[in-house]
Amino acid sequence: MTEVGEFSLIDRATARRRQPATTEIGPGDDAAVVRAPDGRVAMSIDMLVEGRHFRLDWSSPRDVGAKAVAQNAADIAAMGARPTAFVVGIGCPPTTASSVLDELSDGIGSAAEELGAGVVGGDLVQAPSLIVSVTVLGDLEGRAAVERSGARDGDVVAVAGPLGRSAAGYALLREGITDGPLVDSHRVPTPPYASALAAARGGAHAMIDVSDGLLADVGHIAAASGVVVDIDSAAVPVDPAVARVAAERGVVAALDWTLTGGEDHAFAATFADGTVPAGWTVIGTVRAASPDAGVLVDGVSWTGSPSWESFT
């Protein structure tokens, strides 16, 4: 595989896919040109490494591509923006089967297409293991970005999307169970993008992508905003499938997975009381730091399992 192969790789990710109207110049030149209708772009990068963020015996190359797109798109949605364009850097050993690169590219291309975004450029290089680096641009559609730092005394905190499903699916994979909806949730997250946009349109004060675990990520809002977020554990939605798997195992509480499981790419946000949009579940309240900012569960620090760590 020569480095010239980048062209065919990107061709594969974009072939038979129409570029969206935001793509002014697509792949094939020194750089792409993407429209930024409101004069700004949101921008984020994530890097996935084989053996650390995915395993090819657990996930298909297509899953890996779809996951890379979803977790980047979730970062954009958490700002209240809509993804418009992706560029993709792929590193792989020279022995990598071309079918792996084909499927990876197809996973990236079809996930981007579902979001209405273009894959506008890429770079393919030799590397010791499979590495996928995705950068995403997003359009704020004229709104202010929803930052982590906007939570205010008197807000409520709410969540939208799956919680604990990726952690439960990961536990099943470790047991050798490779099928089923929880395992699928681990392989390819399905962030509730429409809920994030509804939050932004509805005037959310702060928002974050739940990738490290609900408590950790709400903690980022608390720290950036200088507030205390108190979560009412009884109000936290526990996914029935997660509850069932936890009960069958008997060694982990479903609430642990729900509060600390990573990689669900749900969203957490704070709103002025009474302004929470449909699709969001209120799980707690925000008050001024007293004196330290942080996150509490039922008024006290959480003493359950620590936050999610990717496998190594």
Looking at the Cβ atoms of 167 and 246, the one nearer to its own copies is 167
Is there a contact between 308 and 216 (Cβ–Cβ < 8 Å)?
A: yes
**123 known ligand binder:** yes
CA dist list (Å): 300 to 223, 232, 257, 268 = 16, 10, 18, 20
DSSP character at residue 305: S
**166 known ligand binder:** no
Looking at the Cβ atoms of 23 and 255, the one nearer to its own copies is 23
The site for its own copies (CB under 8 A) is made up of 2-3, 24-25, 28-37, 39-49, 52-53, 74-76, 78-79, 81, 85, 87-91, 120-123, 125-129, 131, 133, 135-138, 140, 145, 147-149, 207-209, 224, 309-310, 312
Looking at the Cβ atoms of 3 and 11, the one nearer to its own copies is 3
**209 known ligand binder:** yes
**46 known ligand binder:** yes
Torsion of CA 168, 174, 178, 181, to 10 degrees: 0
E strands, 128-251, in order: 131-139, 156-160, 206-210, 227-231
**141 known ligand binder:** no
Looking at the Cβ atoms of 126 and 305, the one nearer to its own copies is 126
Could you give the angle at the alpha carbon of 166 between the alpha carbons of 161 and 171, nearest 5°? 150
**143 known ligand binder:** no
In the complex, the smallest distance separating the C-beta of residue 215 from its own copies, rounded to whole angstroms, is: 14
Looking at the Cβ atoms of 67 and 255, the one nearer to its own copies is 67
**230 known ligand binder:** no
Please state the separation of Cα 46 from the chain's center in Å.
10
Torsion of CA 170, 253, 227, 150, to 10 degrees: 40
- Determine whether 16 is exposed, middle or buried from the number of CB atoms within 10 Å of its CB (0-12, 13-18, 19+): exposed
In the complex, the smallest distance separating the C-beta of residue 81 from its own copies, rounded to whole angstroms, is: 7
In the complex, the smallest distance separating the C-beta of residue 200 from its own copies, rounded to whole angstroms, is: 12
Is there a contact between 218 and 229 (Cβ–Cβ < 8 Å)?
A: yes
**149 known ligand binder:** no
- What is the C-alpha to C-alpha distance for residues 47 and 308, in angstroms, rounded to an integer? 17
Looking at the Cβ atoms of 197 and 253, the one nearer to its own copies is 197
Nearest to 72 by CA among 59, 53, 91, 55: 53
CA dist list (Å): 213 to 26, 264, 274, 282 = 36, 8, 26, 17
In the complex, the smallest distance separating the C-beta of residue 262 from its own copies, rounded to whole angstroms, is: 10
In the complex, the smallest distance separating the C-beta of residue 188 from its own copies, rounded to whole angstroms, is: 19
In the complex, the smallest distance separating the C-beta of residue 58 from its own copies, rounded to whole angstroms, is: 18
